[in-house]
Amino acid sequence: MSKTSPYRVDEHPFELRHEVKRLNRRLDQIADSLEKAEIKDILENYTNPKKRIITNFTSGIARGLGLSIGTFVILGVLGYILSLFVKMPVIGEYIANLLHYINQYKR
């Protein structure tokens, strides 16, 4: 908050001068708080439908891409871990049967 106030309190009677100064300081604090909270940007985003649509579209694309990449990585890691256990009798037989069914379906 700056020491020099843009408000002219000299024009007011003496009784109101202190109250006006206090209210002006409070208004300056509120204005500073609103600037820090970027309320202007938030209001522009909600009042401008075109901007809101673009924002929601890009966030949807980012979420979808992130989910796809995350699923790919997790399935890849699980597949790698599962390939380490293929030599085990129970899991190996199950996977061999599964591969046999898949190969029959391809023909």
Model confidence, pTM: 0.42
Please check whether residue 23 lies inside any domain of the structure.
Answer: no
Please check whether residue 44 lies inside any domain of the structure.
Answer: yes
Please check whether residue 33 lies inside any domain of the structure.
Answer: no
CA distance 65 to 70: 8
pLDDT score of 95: 81
Please check whether residue 3 lies inside any domain of the structure.
Answer: no
Q: Give, to the nearest 10 degrees, the angle between helix 49-84 and helix 39-47.
A: 100
Ranges in the chain, pLDDT < 50: 1-2
Please check whether residue 6 lies inside any domain of the structure.
Answer: no
One-letter amino acid identity for 104?
Answer: Q
pLDDT score of 63: 97
Q: In total, how many domains does the chain have?
A: 1
Please check whether residue 53 lies inside any domain of the structure.
Answer: yes
The domain containing residue 57 runs over which residues? Answer: 38-106
Write out the DSSP string of 11-48: TS-HHHHHHHHHHHHHHHHHHHHHHHHTHHHHHHHHH-
Please check whether residue 101 lies inside any domain of the structure.
Answer: yes
Residue 107, classed as helix, strand or coil, is coil
pLDDT score of 12: 57
Please check whether residue 72 lies inside any domain of the structure.
Answer: yes
